[in-house]
Amino acid sequence: MTSHEGKQFPLRGLVLILAVIVLVACGEVKDGSGNKRETIALFTKNQVNPYFQTLRVAAQAAANELNVDLVNYIPTENDSIREQMSQIEDAITKRPSAAVFIPVDSKAMIPGVEKFNAAGIPVVNLTDRADGGEFVSFMGCDDYAVAADTARYLFKKMNGKGNVIIIEGQGGSSNNQKRMGGFKKALEEFPDIKLLASQTGNFQRSVALQVTENLLQAHSQIDGILAANDSMALGVIEALDAANRKALVIGLNGTKEAIDAVKAGKLLATGDCDGFLQGCMGTMGAVRHLRNLPVPKEIIFPITVFDSTNYQGADVPYEQRMCPKWESIVKE
Amino acid sequence: MARLARIPGVAFLLVLLGFVFAVVAPGFASLPNVLNIGIQSSTLLLLALPMTFIIMTEGLDLSMGALLGLTGVILASALVAGNNLIVAFAQALGVGLAFGIANGLLVVKMGLPPFVATLGTLGIAQGIALVMTKGESVAGIGPALPRLYASTWLGLPFSIVVAAVMYAVFHFLLYYTRFGNYVFAIGGNREALMLAGVPAGFVHVSVYALAGLMSGFAALLLTGRMNSGHPIAAMGMEFDAIAAVIVGGTERQRGNGWLPGTVLGVLAVGVLRNGLNVMAVQSSLQVASIGLLLIVALLIDSIRRRRQ
Amino acid sequence: MKYRLIGLLLIGIALALSSDAFATPSNLLNVLRQASLIFLSASGLTLVIVGAGLDLSVGANLGLSACFAAAAIKSTGALSLGLVAGLACGTIVGVLNGLMVTKLRLPPFIATYGMLWMLYGVNYWYMKGDTIYGFPAEFRALGSGDLLGIPVPVYLMMVGLLAGGIFTRYTTFGHEIYAIGANVEAARLSGIPVSSRLILLYTLSGAMAGLAGVVYLARLNSAEAGIGTPLLLPAIAAVLIGGTSLFGGSGGLAGTLIGAIVLTLVLNGMNLLGINSNWQPLVTGVIILLAALIDSITRKHAEIRA
């Protein structure tokens, strides 16, 4: 920085800045004055997991049907607690009519939910239960139960005996805690299933692949592998293929790629509750609440363990799916 | 006149962004939202202030995010164990300081490159945090910290007050003390400093110690904000801090530091993120915009430098 | 360098003693394959750092290149087109980085960090949360296959090492890079076309990231926007553990290979020994510090003796 430039204003820089502004403004949600449509603010955890993409598409479909606006809030850094907290504050500035909220962390986001509560914005808790705060409803299922059910399925397929390894998710994630809890519970119920190793794959495909390769070296007899999400499960499968080893693998999330792997016989099963359905119901529930229609305090979606016999239900591309009628899911 | 030349391009961007968002995004220019920007930026500023000193000494501290996670967990655990806030805070500060001193000694006494030394301590801090908590967050910290975090001082939220006070402290330290002179000198002319001997080494280590201390301080804000301690909540923040410092005009190569620029850098990113959220811009576009902001800010400076 | 090799051997011996599964040909090849992948991602980066630069965008570049390669293969069915697309993406990003650092005079940290964000933005927008998967076996062999019992990536690594070695030791360009890294002003004064050399360096880094992206695609059999996220820090760590200095002018690819192997051994060892995963960052951090301390102590020794 020298002292000679003084008051010169960088014209070329200004042009660049204007280009940035135009770029940014193109993404602006049309929020015209006098617009009386209700706005639903949907909070999902990241841009990379296909599970959330399906959920968002479903929510948009429901919003279109119900004639409301849907605004998406996704952290720019995947699963960022700090960012989701900031996005809550920023969303409140826009005063959405209601929020549909998937917390990045079940405990750390409680102050965020309380911000919604303080601002008088009704919130539907979707997919992962937050451990505090006031909600219109919780709709989702329990990661613990999903993990336990999927693990039990695997152990039954193994006839209750054999060696297994676990590929864990990211340390520090509340999802991971619950899923590990579920796996461990199922293990307790099958005393002849032996856990050889439990190592982290960080919820990432390449890490899970590398770790599985290493564990295959360490243990000559592995009959079953439990992966804490589909992304990792698919990495596990590649490792098995490359090493010419066979094992029964289960994942969690029910993503399209996993379903295809189940179809192809590479993946034994993937368990979850329907992400598409959750997207629909969460949005519909929020809108119903705004329109003074009854919404149950809790909707626990059934857990499906998708295997080679029943994957057809999940095998429809989300572009072709439609939201069901509220009444067909919620029986009064 | 010389002052205006000093002002980095990010300042103009900040003003422009603020103006544009105020016009284009309803709700942006409201007092609550402006306060939000301050609250959201305060933790990063606490990290970016000591980072400015470190970068002025031609160093880097990559461990700050992991350390913030660790001190946050220690603060939370101490509170859960029933300690009062002062004791718990002291523990967090102590651990932060210890790591900071370790970083400083590794860099100054053992001659390790800062990138490498702090990459190592990053792993160690993160590892300790994960092992301590078994990978779980620490909740149930009691009402004292949340109450402090939610308190307002002269109408301003606690975190903004802390950030402002810390800025004043660092500003004073850098521009009005002998310590600050040494910080400038370490980056600029190390040989001349060698002759000064012990004080220079002490200052150089202290610069890293300060960073560790501030990580502990920032734990107060982060844990208060999340009402829990989380081992990996602050991962990667050091990169944002480094970017804010460089964008604010501090140059690695010549020991040229401008502390107000760091505030501008932190605010520019904070304003951009906030404005994009308030405008509900598509997330992938937000990600790209952040990169664009950093590049354009320095591009402006580069073009201005070329014009003379 | 020889201390690094000794250190590496010590780690190897320690692991061989504590785990039966470690010192088997199968596991050692396994480790080599994994290390080759880190090496490929970090190879171009090494040269950039030798030239006193920095490229933080390698992970993001790798990921985007993999996604474009995947899309190219899926839409045309031609495997070679995938390779071309991946390399092209990587190279273009590298050129842009080079231009930003030289023509626009942006500091490398900001230029490449800003590029990182922009690449992820493009990647997220392009992939829309989906994955592209299912590739033919011939393609997958690039990442997970073997040739004469040796994993394919290891061959790539050897070629890269050889080419890089020849390049840095026996070409003018190679010498120029070290000169630029050591003292850019002196290099400029002695007639070296610094700008064009730097652009070439960043282009190389980008191209290698692109190549690595294609290999990762082959290995994972799937492309998703987040592939590159866990790959940046290991790449940088491999370069630094290998002894290449961030200030430029020293180090090289052989060091990066050793660094890559050390990092791979840490994870391999922890998996084989069944050490709780929460300890992994701690062990990695300690190893990084130990490697640097050994370096520092041996350098001081050499200085005293000289």
Find how far residue C149's CA is from the centre of its chain: 24
DSSP string, A79-118: T-HHHHHHHHHHHHHT--SEEEE--SSTTTTHHHHHHHHH
- Who wins on pLDDT, A18 or A306? A306
Domain span holding position C113 = 2-298
The shortest C-alpha distance from C245 to chain B (Å) reads 8
C-alpha torsion sign, points C213, C215, C220, C222? positive
Is C304 within a domain? no
Q: What is the pLDDT of residue A32?
A: 45
Q: Are A171 and C277 inside 8 Å of each other by CB? A: yes
Of all residues in chain C, the percent with pLDDT exceeding 70 is: 98
How many Cβ contacts (< 8 angstroms) between chains A and C? Answer: 98
The residues facing A304 across adjacent strands are A272
Q: What is the pLDDT of residue B199?
A: 79
Could you tell me which of B40, B14, B59 has the C-alpha nearest to residue B250?
B59
A28, A85, A131 ranked by CB distance to B279: nearest = A28
Residues of C in contact with A317 (CB under 8 A): none
Q: Are A217 and C26 inside 8 Å of each other by CB? A: yes
Is C303 within a domain? no
Residues of A in contact with B130 (CB under 8 A): 171-172
Q: Are A238 and C229 inside 8 Å of each other by CB? A: no
Q: Which chains touch C (3 or more CB pairs under 8 A)?
A: A, B
Q: Are B284 and C121 inside 8 Å of each other by CB? A: yes
Q: What is the mean pLDDT of residues A8-20?
A: 56
Radius of gyration of chain C (CA): 19
Question: What confidence tier does A255 reach under pLDDT thresholds 50, 70, 90?
Answer: very high
Q: What is the mean pLDDT of residues A69-92?
A: 96
A5 interfacial to chain B (CB closer than 8 Å): yes
A52, A238, A242 ranked by CB distance to C129: nearest = A52
Q: What is the mean pLDDT of residues B234-241?
A: 93
Could you give the CA distance from residue C145 to residue B220 in angstroms, rounded to a whole number?
Answer: 51
pLDDT digits (tens, 9 = 90+) for B19-41: 999 999 989 999 999 999 999 99
For the entire predicted model, the pTM comes to 0.92
ipTM of the complex: 0.93
Question: What confidence tier does C297 reach under pLDDT thresholds 50, 70, 90?
Answer: confident
Could you tell me which of C264, C240, C261 has the C-alpha nearest to residue C250?
C240
Q: Are A176 and B135 inside 8 Å of each other by CB? A: yes
Q: Are C30 and A217 inside 8 Å of each other by CB? A: yes
The shortest C-alpha distance from A128 to chain C (Å) reads 19
Could you give the CA distance from residue B2 to residue B29 in angstroms, rounded to a whole number?
Answer: 31
Chain A (153-192) residues lying within 8 Å, Cβ to Cβ, of chain B:
170-174, 176-177
Q: What is the pLDDT of residue A5?
A: 40
Could you give the CA distance from residue C214 to residue C217 in angstroms, rounded to a whole number?
Answer: 5
pLDDT winner (highest mean) among A119-128, B296-305, C236-245 = A119-128
Q: Are C272 and A204 inside 8 Å of each other by CB? A: no
Q: What is the DSSP letter of C278?
A: G
Residues of C in contact with A48 (CB under 8 A): 124, 127, 129, 224-226
Q: Which residue of B has its CA nearest to C245?
A: B113
Could you give the CA distance from residue A50 to residue C306 in angstroms, rounded to a whole number?
Answer: 60
A47, A207, A241 ranked by CB distance to C230: nearest = A207
Query: What is the CATH superfamily name and number for domain A38-141+275-302?
Result: Response regulator (3.40.50.2300)
Q: Which chains touch B (3 or more CB pairs under 8 A)?
A: A, C
pLDDT digits (tens, 9 = 90+) for C105-119: 999 999 999 999 999
Q: Are B9 and A82 inside 8 Å of each other by CB? A: no
Could you give the CA distance from residue C119 to residue B68 in angstroms, rounded to a whole number?
Answer: 28
Residues of A in contact with B13 (CB under 8 A): 17
Give, in order, the Cα–Cα distances in Å from C235 to each of B83, C34, C54, C55: 42, 12, 12, 10
Which one is the CATH code of A143-272: 1.10.645.10, 3.30.200.20, 3.80.30.20, 3.40.50.2300? 3.40.50.2300
C118, C281, C293 ranked by CB distance to B291: nearest = C118
Residues B290/B244, Cβ–Cβ less than 8 Å: no
Question: What confidence tier does C55 reach under pLDDT thresholds 50, 70, 90?
Answer: very high
pLDDT digits (tens, 9 = 90+) for C184-212: 889 999 999 999 999 999 999 999 999 99
Element (H, E) at A318: none
The shortest C-alpha distance from C84 to chain A (Å) reads 23
Chain A (19-48) residues lying within 8 Å, Cβ to Cβ, of chain B:
20-21, 23-25, 27-29, 31, 47
Could you tell me which of A100, A120, A103 has the C-alpha nearest to residue A40?
A100
pLDDT digits (tens, 9 = 90+) for B117-151: 999 999 999 999 999 999 889 999 999 999 999 99
Residues of B in contact with C123 (CB under 8 A): 284
Residues C129/A49, Cβ–Cβ less than 8 Å: yes
Q: What is the pLDDT of residue C306?
A: 56
Residues of A in contact with B304 (CB under 8 A): 5, 8, 10, 13
For an interface test with C, give the residue of B107, B108, B110, B115 to mutate (most C CBs within 10 A).
Answer: B115
Domain spans, chain A: 38-141+275-302, 143-272
Give, in order, the Cα–Cα distances in Å from A110 to each of A106, A200, B278: 7, 27, 21
Q: Are B292 and C281 inside 8 Å of each other by CB? A: no
Q: What is the mean pLDDT of residues C152-163?
A: 95
Q: Which residue of A has its CA nearest to C219?
A: A238
pLDDT digits (tens, 9 = 90+) for A165-202: 999 999 888 999 999 999 999 999 999 999 999 999 99
Q: What is the pLDDT of residue A1?
A: 39
Q: Which residue of C has its CA nearest to A213?
A: C30
How many Cβ contacts (< 8 angstroms) between chains A and B? Answer: 176
C301 interfacial to chain B (CB closer than 8 Å): no
Tokens of B57: 């000494």
Q: What is the pLDDT of residue A19?
A: 61
Tokens of A97: 């009519």
B112, B283, B293 ranked by CB distance to C296: nearest = B112
**φ, ψ (nearest 5 deg) of residue C56:** -85, -5
Q: Which of A173-177, A269-273, B167-171, C7-11 shows the lowest per-residue confidence on average (mean pLDDT)?
A: C7-11
C107 interfacial to chain B (CB closer than 8 Å): yes
Q: What is the mean pLDDT of residues A228-234?
A: 96
Could you give the CA distance from residue C123 to residue A23 in angstroms, rounded to a whole number?
Answer: 17
Chain A (105-134) residues lying within 8 Å, Cβ to Cβ, of chain B:
105, 107-111, 131
Q: What is the pLDDT of residue A8?
A: 45
Q: What is the pLDDT of residue C128?
A: 92
Q: Are B246 and C109 inside 8 Å of each other by CB? A: yes
Q: Which of B1-15, B33-47, C144-158 shows the lowest per-residue confidence on average (mean pLDDT)?
A: B1-15
Q: Are A209 and C219 inside 8 Å of each other by CB? A: yes
The shortest C-alpha distance from C295 to chain A (Å) reads 29
Q: In what order do the strands lie in the sheet with A123-127?
A: A69-73, A39-43, A98-101, A123-127, A137-140, A298-300
- Who wins on pLDDT, B184 or B160? B160
Domain total of chain C: 1
The shortest C-alpha distance from C42 to chain B (Å) reads 16
Q: What is the pLDDT of residue C243?
A: 87
Tally of residues, chain A: 332
Residues of A in contact with C274 (CB under 8 A): 197, 199, 218
C105, C119, C285 ranked by CB distance to B124: nearest = C285
Tokens of B218: 């920032």
Residues of B in contact with A171 (CB under 8 A): 130, 135, 231-232
Query: Taking all residues of chain A, what is their mean pLDDT, rounded to a whole number?
Result: 89
For an interface test with A, give the residue of B13, B131, B230 to mutate (most A CBs within 10 A).
Answer: B230
Residue A10 in this model has a pLDDT that exceeds 60: no
Q: Which residue of C has its CA nearest to A201?
A: C277
CATH number of the domain enclosing C203: 1.10.3470
Question: What confidence tier does A320 reach under pLDDT thresholds 50, 70, 90?
Answer: confident
Is C191 within a domain? yes
Q: Which chains touch A (3 or more CB pairs under 8 A)?
A: B, C
Helices (H) and strands (E) in chain B, counts: 14, 4
Q: What is the pLDDT of residue A103?
A: 96
Residues of C in contact with A217 (CB under 8 A): 21, 24, 26-27, 30, 268, 272
Q: Which residue of A has its CA nearest to C265?
A: A214
Q: What is the pLDDT of residue C127?
A: 95
Residues A299/A138, Cβ–Cβ less than 8 Å: yes
